[in-house]
């Protein structure tokens, strides 16, 4: 085996690949100039330079490793064999020691070979230093304690490649690597240290594999979906070249086949032999080179060498012949065409300096500086004793301990000639420093940047600003991503190891620093523009200066002024019929509610706070409740009055019709609303919140109004509105002068529409405050306009209509009386309601009609004669006259009631007559007895006639012609005799005593006043029939009294009285005279129990009355009864007739 050797006092060894490896074999091929010859020459040159500075002479032995593990192991064994001292068996002077053993070995260059050599050397404790082995395995000190290197570990190279990928934003790549420690460990380091780059596919290939294998690898990368554009080759230079060749062949087969963007490791570095012939495929690629500046001092030395002056390198002659294709010695039998080498050939031809020369220099210098440090420490005290090796070497260094030498080597620190600091960490690795090269084709490599490790271990990537060339021969940066980067506000969600899906975060969310999670901003905050932080949102509220707010406030202000003006006008005209007809107290309550509704607008449109929200929650429902409760009370009163007037017999007077009752009912309804509001407030306290329509982007302050606590008060108001509407519909047919029910109905119809729209808009609109303001003001305006504007119009512009005559209930009252015997033909009687021209048809029912007509006549239209005529007709109509020979007359209690009523009315007639639908007086007595004369006469007289009449066993029917009615004078002349006889029979048919027991007489008045218990005590001992008759009579009297009292209250003030009080007194005076005459006639009976009581008041003026000519009072006669026993026997049928008597009163309009 050839060895290049420089002898010295201390010998070191070196393993360089002097020959290339034969592909597919472990044999040696052609001589390798850069990796072999140049490295051997720089090693010998460095040793020569060190010997000039060392205290001893350093020697070196160089052997060929052929870039294979097997040959490297063989050469290492040769080093170890030479170190063994061989002595002769005899003890003679010729027994001597062989050459000095190597104390350390430099190389080999291949990582796998270096590991194999280290495994052998550490057995013999021989230190090893690497100049090119970068595998990460060699950093394991426990496994390789005698190894260190002057090149950084591939772990740093992997980090440099990853930072380069991140710099160009190449996040989706493929990796191919050479089988063996260098490629496999480098890929592992790259994969382990990768945090931002995704490796889509990785493939391991053998450096000696066939070309088809490399093509298949590239095809598999092309078939990936998505296809990675960038491929990292963590492999040796030979493998890198084979990939370029495979790509070239694929492009030749398919011109559209797209090349890859290659990134090579330091196995390629800047070697031109890798890209020779494939420059187009390699153009635009990047490679990593361990920082090793060009050794300028080597070239003059190298170029001066020739086969004649350089003999210490045994491979140099073969190299010379191979390089220049000549023969230094021509064989005798050579028949080839190779020339003879002249020795003047120039080594600069196709010269390329090996990039690892500086690492070779530093490796040898580390060993030399470590030996010098050891020599200084061990030999400074022993300067006289020498060894057989060298007179300079002291005995302590004769046998150098490898464990001590490796320690000295780890402590070496120096700065080389290229200003690179050399030191070793705990793993025996130097600081990382890589050059990033960009191959630009024919122009070679350009420095694109560098990657350095600082003293603190922090890596720094620095890229040159110069434009870079990429695989497409342009400076346009290509993309190599599986998924494009997510936009602002999106997070990454990985689907595979290399791809992700961009998911958009919610508007209120930010993206965390890793862009993998969406995080919510706190309540009241909003993300910044870059979606990485949150900032607080300002609080907004609907400004009062907005055009909508201004319009709403103006609307409410006008409504308040209009309401105040209405109140002032009503107060000023408080005693006029228009104001009275509206029930003043209820009207003022309604106006106060309208005022409160208008004022709500100011609270709703101010800045939301607890106070404004409390007012907005509580005041509107209560204010509306005030309005609609008063309206409901008023419409209910009108409806009850109208319903009572349609009954045939009014047995019980309507209750709660007074003003006080109406006000109390109103406030009870309002109190219910207050309770509902209070419960809602306690359930959900009003407070200022944020409008959910704007959240979370804007913080708009509003008063929270949700749920049943807000809706329930308005549902109560809707109930009031619905009831008001129902009553308005029921009272729509009131007389024309009482059209307030019509306006109430219009108000309710419009309000329902507004409220339905309000409910829809409140939950569907954004600006609830403005919606509430307009809805409340509009509802109030509807009530104000429809209920009060017509009355204000009459008060202000039509004062002639503001009189009592315009507000009477009716102009005509027609009353019918009769008993149950005629109920079968009552349908015929009802026809008189339809027209004032109809008459009462004849039948079994005895009827009498009273028509009291109020005509708007002047006082002078009727003279006294006319009044007398009317009175006479009135007397004839209401007189029941018996036959001439009548001896006894009985006074009925109804007649006495009629007289008492007239006297009471006479005492209270100083007050103005009032209508039931108008406002009532304050006192109860005035409410019961007030009214005009028609009210007090029509009821008692009608009751009188129905009471004294009874049905005989046989009734003679008299047909009266309705087509040609006779005048009153004719009726009076033809029937005077019949009337006298009938009146006598009627009076004699009534006994003076209702009950006679033990000579104790009980009158009808006393009988009606007795309680049930008292009557039972009085009837003890009588027969059953008598007891039944008396009880039936008592019930009849009770019912008659109820009916009369209710009727008096119902029909009072229903006849229009146009004349003033003075004329009214005159009319009543005439009527009083007629009553007195009737009283005298009735008291002519010989056995009467009741006596006339003189009136206590002044006589009143007569009332002008007219009996319609078509109405005829039919009176049936009875046979005379001669004795009192017959009268008592007739008591029972009289009672039955009285109990079945019916009366009917209804309105008609002239």
Angstrom distance (rounded) from CA 901 to CA 945: 16
The torsion angle over the Cα atoms of residues 227, 228, 232 and 236, rounded to 10 degrees, is 10
pLDDT of residue 471: 93
DSSP single-letter state for residue 227 = P
C-alpha–C-alpha distance, residues 93 and 91, integer Å: 7
DSSP annotation of 340 reads B
The answer to whether residues 35 and 16 touch, using CB atoms and an 8 Å cutoff, is: yes
Residue 546, classed as helix, strand or coil, is: coil
The Cα 147–Cα 125 span in angstroms is 10
Q: Cα separation of 386 and 402, whole Å? A: 21
Question: What's residue 1061's pLDDT?
Answer: 64
Strand residues in 516-642 grouped as ranges (E): 518-520, 525-527, 534-536, 539-541
Please state the three-class secondary structure of 684-699 as a single string.
Answer: CCCCEEECCCCCCCCE
610-645 vs 659-683: helix crossing angle, rounded to 10: 150
Six token digits for residue 603: 């609270």
How many angstroms separate the CA atoms of 691 and 762, rounded? 12
Strand-strand pairing, 172-178 and 1101-1102: unpaired
Measured CA distances, 1017 to 1008, 1011, 1013, 1036 (Å): 15, 10, 6, 20
The pLDDT score that the predictor gives to residue 822 is: 36
Asked if 813 contacts 1145 with a C-beta cutoff of 8 angstroms, the reply is yes
Q: Are 376 and 318 in contact (CB under 8 A)?
A: no
Which H or E run contains 435?
Answer: strand 433-439
- The secondary structure element, H or E, covering residue 21 is strand 19-21
Q: State the distance between the two ends of the chain, measured CA to CA, in whole angstroms.
A: 154
Phi-psi region of 42 (alpha: psi -120 to 50; beta: other; left: phi over 0): alpha
Provide the pLDDT for residue 1084: 54
The dihedral through the CA atoms of 579, 583, 589, 590 has a sign that is negative
Q: Return the residue matching tokens 């290399």.
A: 498
Domain chopping of the chain, boundaries: 4-85+97-152+296-379, 490-536, 548-644+655-807, 879-1103+1116-1145
Helix ranges (DSSP H) in 605-652: 610-645
Cis status of the peptide bond prior to 108, with omega within 30 of 0: yes
**Contact (CB, 8 A) for 46 and 63:** no
Contact yes or no for 65/78 (Cβ under 8 A): no
Residue 541 pairs with which residues in a beta bridge? 701
Separation of alpha carbons 57 and 390, rounded Å: 9
995/1004 Cα distance (integer angstroms): 9
The rounded average pLDDT for each run of 10 residues, N- to C-terminus, in the chain (1150 residues) is: 91 95 86 94 95 93 94 94 55 51 93 93 94 90 94 91 92 91 88 81 89 93 90 92 94 91 91 90 94 90 91 93 90 82 88 91 96 89 55 80 94 90 92 94 91 86 93 92 85 78 89 86 90 90 85 93 94 89 88 93 88 89 92 86 64 76 93 92 86 82 74 86 85 61 82 82 74 88 90 89 64 36 36 34 35 37 40 39 39 53 52 43 38 43 44 39 39 42 41 44 76 81 82 82 74 60 74 81 49 41 39 36 39 35 32
Q: Which CATH number fits domain 4-85+97-152+296-379: 3.40.50.10090, 3.40.50.2300, 3.40.50.300, 3.40.50.12280?
A: 3.40.50.2300
With beta carbons less than 8 A apart as the criterion, state whether 46 and 365 touch.
yes
509-511 and 445-453 strand pairing: unpaired
Token pair 């020739």 is at which residue? 306
Q: How far is CA 153 from CA 74, 162, 433, 443, 559, in A?
A: 26, 15, 10, 30, 91
The torsion of the CA quartet 1085, 1088, 1090, 1095, rounded to 10 degrees, works out to: 20
- The pLDDT of residue 864 is 38
Distance, in Å, from the CA atom of 191 to the CA atom of 189, rounded to the nearest integer, reads 5
Task: Report the alpha-carbon distance of residue 215 to residue 850 in Å, rounded.
Answer: 129
| Site of tokens 């949102």 | 537
Q: Are 355 and 267 in contact (CB under 8 A)?
A: no
Helix, strand, coil percent content, the chain, rounded in steps of 5: 45, 15, 40
10 Å CB burial of residue 15 (0-12, 13-18, 19+) is: buried
Cα–Cα dist 172/799, whole Å: 97
DSSP string, 261-317: EEEE-TTTTT-HHHHTT-HHHHTT-EEEEE-----TTHHHHHHT--TTT--S-TTHH
Confirm if 697 and 526 have CB atoms less than 8 A apart: yes
Do residues 446 and 437 make contact, with C-beta atoms less than 8 angstroms apart?
yes
pLDDT at 803: 78
Per-residue model confidence (pLDDT) at position 360: 95
Q: CA-CA distance, 1066 to 1122, in Å (whole number)?
A: 43
Using DSSP, state whether 200 is helix, strand or coil: strand
Question: Strand 102-106 vs strand 4-6: parallel, antiparallel, or unpaired?
Answer: unpaired
Distance of CA 905 to the CA centre of its chain: 73
Mapped onto helix, strand or coil, the DSSP state of residue 819 is: coil
CATH number of the structural domain 548-644+655-807? 1.20.1070.10
CA within 13 Å, CB half, 829: 26
Residue 458 tokens, joined: 């922090």
Angle between helices 864-878 and 968-988 (to 10 degrees): 40
Query: What are 1021-1027's contacts with CB under 8 Å, separation 24+?
Result: 1021/997, 1022/997, 1025/1132
Phi, psi (degrees; rounded to nearest 5) at 769: -60, -45
């Amino acid at each position: 085996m050839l060895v290049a050797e420089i002898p010295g006092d201390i010998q070191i060894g070196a393993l360089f690949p002097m020959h290339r490896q034969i592909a597919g074999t472990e044999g040696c091929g052609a001589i390798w100039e850069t990796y072999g010859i140049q490295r051997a020459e720089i090693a010998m040159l460095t040793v020569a330079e060190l010997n000039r500075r060392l205290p001893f002479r350093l020697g070196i032995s160089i052997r060929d490793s052929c870039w294979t593990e097997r040959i490297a192991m063989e050469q290492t064994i040769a080093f170890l064999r030479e170190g063994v001292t061989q002595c002769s068996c005899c003890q003679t002077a010729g027994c001597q020691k062989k050459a000095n053993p190597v104390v350390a070995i430099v190389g080999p260059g291949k990582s796998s070979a270096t590991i194999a050599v280290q495994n052998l050397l550490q057995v013999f404790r021989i230190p090893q230093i690497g100049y090119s082995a970068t595998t990460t395995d060699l950093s394991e000190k426990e496994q390789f304690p005698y190894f260190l290197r002057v090149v950084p570990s591939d772990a740093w190279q992997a980090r440099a490649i990853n930072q380069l990928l991140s710099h160009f934003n190449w996040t989706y790549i493929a990796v191919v690597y050479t089988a063996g420690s260098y490629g496999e460990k480098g890929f592992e380091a790259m994969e382990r240290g990768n945090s931002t780059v995704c490796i889509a596919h990785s493939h391991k290939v053998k450096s000696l594999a066939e070309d088809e294998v490399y093509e298949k690898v590239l095809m598999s990368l092309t078939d990936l979906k998505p296809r990675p554009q960038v491929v990292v080759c963590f492999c040796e230079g030979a493998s890198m070249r084979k990939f370029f060749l495979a790509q070239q062949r694929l492009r030749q087969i398919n011109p559209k086949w797209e090349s890859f963007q290659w990134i090579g490791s330091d196995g390629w570095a800047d070697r031109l032999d890798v890209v020779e012939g494939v420059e187009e495929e390699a153009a635009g690629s990047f490679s990593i080179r361990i920082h090793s500046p060009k050794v300028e001092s080597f070239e003059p030395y190298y170029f001066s060498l020739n086969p004649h002056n350089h003999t210490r390198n045994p491979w140099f002659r073969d190299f010379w012949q191979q390089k220049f294709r000549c023969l230094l010695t021509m064989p005798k039998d050579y028949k080839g065409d190779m020339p003879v080498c002249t020795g003047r050939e120039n080594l600069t031809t196709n010269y390329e300096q090996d990039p690892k020369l500086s690492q070779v220099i530093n490796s040898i210098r580390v060993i030399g500086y470590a030996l010098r440090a050891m020599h200084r420490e061990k030999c400074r005290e022993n300067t006289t004793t020498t060894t057989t090796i060298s007179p300079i070497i002291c005995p302590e260094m004769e046998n150098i301990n490898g464990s001590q030498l490796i320690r000295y080597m780890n402590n070496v620190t120096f700065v080389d000639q290229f200003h690179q600091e050399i030191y070793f960490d705990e793993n025996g690795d130097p600081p990382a420093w890589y050059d990033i090269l960009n191959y630009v084709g024919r122009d070679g490599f350009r420095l694109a940047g560098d990657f350095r490790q600082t003293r603190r271990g922090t890596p720094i990537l620095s890229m040159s600003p110069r434009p870079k060339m990429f695989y497409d021969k342009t400076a346009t940066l290509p993309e190599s991503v599986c998924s494009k980067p997510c936009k602002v506000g999106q997070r990454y969600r990985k689907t595979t190891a290399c791809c992700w899906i961009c998911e958009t975060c919610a508007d209120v969310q930010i993206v965390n620093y890793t862009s993998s999670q969406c995080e919510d901003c706190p309540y009241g905050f909003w993300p910044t523009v870059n979606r990485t932080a949150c900032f607080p949102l300002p609080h907004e509220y609907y400004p009062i200066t907005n055009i909508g707010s201004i319009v709403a406030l103006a609307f409410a202000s006008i409504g308040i002024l209009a309401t105040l003006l209405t109140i002032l006008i009503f107060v000023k005209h408080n005693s006029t019929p228009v104001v009275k007809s509206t029930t003043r107290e209820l009207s003022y309550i309604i106006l106060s509610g309208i005022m409160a509704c208008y004022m709500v607008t100011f609270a709703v449109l101010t800045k939301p706070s607890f106070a404004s929200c409390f007012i907005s929650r509580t005041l509107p429902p209560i204010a509306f409740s005030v309005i609609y409760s008063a309206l409901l009370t008023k419409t209910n009163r009108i409806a009850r009055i109208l319903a009572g007037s349609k009954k045939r017999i009014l047995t019980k007077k309507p209750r709660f019709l007074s003003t006080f009752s109406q006000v109390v009912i109103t406030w009870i309804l309002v109190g219910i609303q207050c309770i509902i509001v209070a419960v809602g407030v306690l359930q959900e306290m009003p407070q200022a919140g944020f409008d959910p329509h704007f959240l979370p982007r804007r913080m708009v302050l509003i008063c929270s109004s949700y749920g049943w606590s807000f809706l329930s008060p308005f549902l109560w108001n809707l109930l009031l509105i619905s009831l008001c509407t129902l009553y308005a519909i029921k009272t729509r047919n009131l007389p024309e002068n009482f059209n307030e029910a019509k306006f109430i109905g219009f108000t309710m119809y419009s309000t329902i529409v507004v409220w339905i729209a309000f409910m829809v808009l409140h939950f569907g609109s954004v600006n609830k405050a403005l919606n509430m303001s307009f809805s409340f003001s509009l509802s109030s305006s509807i009530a104000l306009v429809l209920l009060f504007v017509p009355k204000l119009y009459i008060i202000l512009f039509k004062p002639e209509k503001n009189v009592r005559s315009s507000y009477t209930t009716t102009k005509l009252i027609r009353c019918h009386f009769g008993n149950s015997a005629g109920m079968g033909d009552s349908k015929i009687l009802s026809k008189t309601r339809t027209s004032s021209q109809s008459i009462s048809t004849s039948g079994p029912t005895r009827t009498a009609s009273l028509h009291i007509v109020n005509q708007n006549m002047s006082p002078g239209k009727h003279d006294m004669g006319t009044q007398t005529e009317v009175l006479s007709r009135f007397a004839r109509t209401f007189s029941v006259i018996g036959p001439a020979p009548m001896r006894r007359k009985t006074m009925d209690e109804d007649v006495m009631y009629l007289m008492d009523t007239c006297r009471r009315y006479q005492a209270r007639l100083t007050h103005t007559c009032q209508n039931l639908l108008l406002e009532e007086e304050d006192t109860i007595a005035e409410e019961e007895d007030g009214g005009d004369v028609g009210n007090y006469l029509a009821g008692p007289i009608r009751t009188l006639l129905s009471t004294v009449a009874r049905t005989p066993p046989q009734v003679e029917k008299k047909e009266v012609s309705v087509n040609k009615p006779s005048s009153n004078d004719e009726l009076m002349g033809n029937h005077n005799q019949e009337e006298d006889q009938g009146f006598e029979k009627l009076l004699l048919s009534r006994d003076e005593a209702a009950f006679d027991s033990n000579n104790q007489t009980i009158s009808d008045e006393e009988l009606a006043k007795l309680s049930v218990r008292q009557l039972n005590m009085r009837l003890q001992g009588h027969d059953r029939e008598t007891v039944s008759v008396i009880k039936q009579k008592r019930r009849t009297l009770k019912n008659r009294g109820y009916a009369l009292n209710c009727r008096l209250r119902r029909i009072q003030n229903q006849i229009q009285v146009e004349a003033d009080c003075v004329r009214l007194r005159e009319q009543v005076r005439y009527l009083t005279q007629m009553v007195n005459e009737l009283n005298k006639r009735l008291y002519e009976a010989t056995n009467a129990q009741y006596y006339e009581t003189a009136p206590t008041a002044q006589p009143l003026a007569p009332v002008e009355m007219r009996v319609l000519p078509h109405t005829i009072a039919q009176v049936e006669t009875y046979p005379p009864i001669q004795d009192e026993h017959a009268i008592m026997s007739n008591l029972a049928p009289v009672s039955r007739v009285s109990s079945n008597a019916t009366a009917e009163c209804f309105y008609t309009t002239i």
